[in-house]
Amino acid sequence: MPAEELMELQMPHSVMAEQSVLGSMLIDERCVPAVMERLRPDDFYLRQNRALFDVMFTMFNRFETIDPVTVRQKLGGGSEWNTFLLQAMELTPTTAHVREYIRAVREEARLSRLRSLGLELAGAVDKLAQELTALPVRERLQAAAQAVLEAGELDPLGGSTAYDLFIDGSADSEGLSLAFAALCQELNLPCHVAQGTLEGEPHFWTVVQTGEGWRHLDLSVPEAEDSGPFCTDRQFQELGYLWKEGDFPPCTED
């Protein structure tokens, strides 16, 4: 089996993609803007790849020419870096696929952050559950809502999943609601994600079970002065919300 094929079988695809991104920029300077627009140093898994890209990223922001000679000078020369630069270029199949390499690096970086975030969230949820056990239901819900709002913020043009909020730090009303519902599920707090409209525009929020019954809770808008964060159907309708009856439990006065 040729050495190149053996290396491809042994090395993770993301590592090959990282080297191909770096090699593409060294081979063809026209690839540089597309890479710099989509990637950052911490998207690279291997330390040496990250260090090389960090140098090239700095050079790009200083409007300096990026090619094998200038990059090698910035790295201080040395046989180790010379070999590494040559290897990156030799292992790059073609610069024509640079956007595919970029997508592979971004996706693997996203998955890596997700794995790390999953561990962090698991620990945070366990800690939060222990702290909230003795609190009334409303206070537990408010603490969970605060935890979500500290993890990210509303972006009407952002993603629509809980991952977008936890990883990218922002999400639209659907992503915000899904993130809160996921946390409530881990804390054994009954919660539904509701879909309807707010002042005529598509919108998502949550319906939670409090000590006084089911209530609407929308983390994407400021609290209503009169009703606070938890609203009945009537109060929510007065605020401009509309929804299809029967999609979730009614939120009525006891």
Q: 203-246: per-residue pLDDT in tens?
A: 999 999 998 899 999 998 876 444 468 999 999 999 999 999 88
Residue type, 45: Y
| Per-residue tokens: 41 | 């140093």
Determine the average pLDDT of the residues in 94-118. Answer: 84
Task: Quick: pLDDT tens for 54-99.
Answer: 999 999 999 999 999 999 999 987 888 999 999 999 999 999 999 9
Helix ranges (H only) for 133-240 are: 137-151, 162-163, 173-186, 233-238
Out of 55-64, 110-119, 128-137, 237-246, the most confident range is: 55-64
3-state SS class at 66: coil
Strand order, beta sheet including 213-217: 213-217, 201-210, 191-198, 241-243
Q: Which CATH architecture has domain 3-106?
A: Orthogonal Bundle (1.10)
| Every domain of the chain and the residues it spans | 3-106, 135-243
- Cβ-based neighbours of 159, under 8 Å, separated by 6 or more: 165, 168, 170, 171, 172, 175
| Per-residue tokens: 104 | 């592979």
Rounded Cα gap, residues 210 and 228, in angstroms: 13
Pick 77 or 181 by higher pLDDT.
Answer: 181
CATH topology of domain 135-243: C8orf32 fold (3.10.620)
Phi, psi of 171 (to 5 degrees): -165, 165
The pTM of this model reads 0.56
- Cβ-based neighbours of 186, under 8 Å, separated by 6 or more: 125, 129
